[in-house]
Structure 1
Amino acid sequence: MKQTNSPTPIFIHACGFHSALGNTPASIQQRLSLRDCPSMEHAEGLLNAGGATIVGKVTDTLPSLPPHLLHYDSRNNRLALSALQQIEVNVREAIAQYGSERVAVIVGTSTSGISDGEAAYTAKLANGEFPSHFHYSKQELGNCSDFIADYFDISGPCYAISTACSSSGRVFLSAKRLLKSGLVDAVIVGGVDTLCALTLNGFNSLEALSEQLCRPFDENRNGINIGESAAFMLLSKTPSPASQRHIALLGVGDSSDAHHISAPHPDGNGAEQAMQKALTDAHLTAEDIGYINAHGTATPLNDRMESKAIARVFGQSVPVSSTKPLTGHTLGAASATEAAIAWYILNYDLLLPKQHCQNKANDIEINLVETDLTLNGGAILSNSFAFGGNNISLIFGVWND
């Protein structure tokens, strides 16, 4: 896809991804194609009020951190490393080409190392002191970005963004600005969040968790499943000479409607604004979008307002689905998780993920993917909407010179 009079796109040189879908291209492609994910599993004993929920859990063995970086050791950083190792060759090539000071790190997260903190506080209550390996810094939001910079010995800009469920979408916006400003030549972007009792019980107190596999846009949808994930990409203004297919970030749109601390605007005003801004940024029209990966959390309010917003911008022609039944809602990592899914669809020419909506709700006005469909050369728009009305829309596509 090449747009007339458009700015140079931001090219994706590599993608590393580890979630309930797995951590290998074969596993991820198979589970996306079959719309089946065995790692979406019932979890017992995580909710203070009792009962069970379904979570998107990473079940593969995670790598150990190098000995000189063990002060960063946490499940969050080990999960991040498992995705980063998939793009390590590309990152080190960029560092060799541009210099460590010309490569940036921007990470989106909302839980950081909270699960390790929970375990440490449990040990303190039982034994009277924290474990010797625990330090509060593992819970800090910037811990993962600092770890990545130290792992690759990067001295360029390095920071974390935490805007709830749009966190790892905003990293793409920040990366684009850094690259366009000329401050850096490459950026490692992505997001990582791990399962922890804090978020599970928090969403349960909001009566937002489902005891079943979540059902976005369904008449009987009743809440979310929480998951864990790490997804990272290497971005640059120049395409990789080794790639035959140049996948790019074409546009980014953001908004902040601030309607309510946790509920979205009922008419999706902020969601509509973010999508329109992404189209404008990409110099595209609604007709250029071949698929929308919806935020689609399976809560009544979110799905209703997102459907309204998509219908106003795109009508009912663009196919839409939510992939959260395959990964869970990975919170601060959600945008990067679904960006990685977009990359997989574009890179491997996968069929669009089906919704398998048993009973489409009457308040849903969009065209859900229910049959085998391909992208047919269009671009992918991916939505993420967060508490406080912090919204982000990303557009990805194949760039042809």
Structure 2
Amino acid sequence: MESRGEDYNERLIAGAARLRDSGRLGRSDPLIRLFDYLLESSLAGRIPKEIEIAQEVFGKDSNFDIMQDASVRVYIHRLRRKLEDFNTKLAPEEDRILLPLGEYQLTLARGAEPEAPAVNPDEAGPEPELLPEPARKPRLSRFWIVAGLFLLVNAGGWLAYPLLGGADPSAAIVRSPVWQPIARSRNPSFIVGGDYYIFGDSPDTFNVSRLVRDFSINSRDELDVLRMTNPYARDHYLDLDLSYLPVSIGPALRELLPVATSAGSKTGVRPQVTRMSQVTPEMLKNTNVIYVGFLSGLGILRDPLFRASGFKIGGNYDELIDKANGRRFDSDWAVVADGKTPQRDYAYIASIPGPSGNRIMIISGTRDAAVAQAAQIMVDPEQLAEIAAKTKGDAFEALYEVRTLGSVNLSSSLIVARPIRSAGIWHPEEMQRR
């Protein structure tokens, strides 16, 4: 095993001290114990096994089954997220503590040297230099190998995209009146995936037995409120800093990213991708937001959107009701799910001005098939032209019926496309006076 030397260990210890002093590890005793254990093991040049961590950090006995109990992997994931968040706050030249995927060892990455003032801003900065570390056996699971290949393929595609030359295939789409508010804007854009907060249920406050999705609990703060008022929640529910995205968001992003990039070319900044749980009021005010996801995942966009919309949510997010005539549009996905019977979903698209002249675009649906179809509609010049012809306004909404069979979209048909009154939606008291 190659020795990393005293300097490496001293820098790792110093980095660990900075992390502890920052408070970024939070108040979770199991998480702090895990960090201290991995630090001690890494300083000794030892890579512990999952069973060792379970027994020495979490007090598991020899009967612990890593296939049935994911508590170690859950806390490793939480710690990795904490480290990544802390590293984003460091100066470029500062050392970073990393917890590589598939490994139970802390490593140190040397920060970049301060750049000279004359660096071309279009050139990428140097990658952090990994300090020497002991040789070890690979521990990557098949999941992480597949995930890594997926990310590499997508990254390669985006690196090659500006080098392909020729006409931009997205140009005709961006010229549509539907995309023009973003194309004319000088605000940066965010593509926002509608994610869902999940938390852990634990019999002993640190061993997670199951993951819970509660539609009434959508953030760590809301979980804290529940824990203050509910004895069971106080004793069993844990924030794991986890959320999930519907599977349709991946294909939808593949369709939308080139168009959103072309639409935002005036700013010189590519659109960033984030999750709804990370969206702040400042982002809604200062950036263009392109939401992609279920109607149930709209988060802080839900109230202003449905103040303007001609629809309202029905008994659940699978149902929309026309406010004017009471007509109901109800997805039957939850009723018919045998994969052999055609199903009906609804894709919903809307565009409204933001609170400071920016643009909020909604590309959504009741379920996965509808979200994927909504994304395809937004990159189809003919369907965009149909929407523009029917709405003739700066703010609009459109509803499509989507017919599916299993995971295959069979067809879609436009039900309604209409302008909507967006004045005052960010100030509901003004709308009440109208």
State the TM-score, normalizing by the size of structure 2.
Answer: 0.22
State the TM-score, normalizing by the size of structure 1.
Answer: 0.23
Q: Which has the higher contact order (CA 8 A, sep 6+)?
A: 1
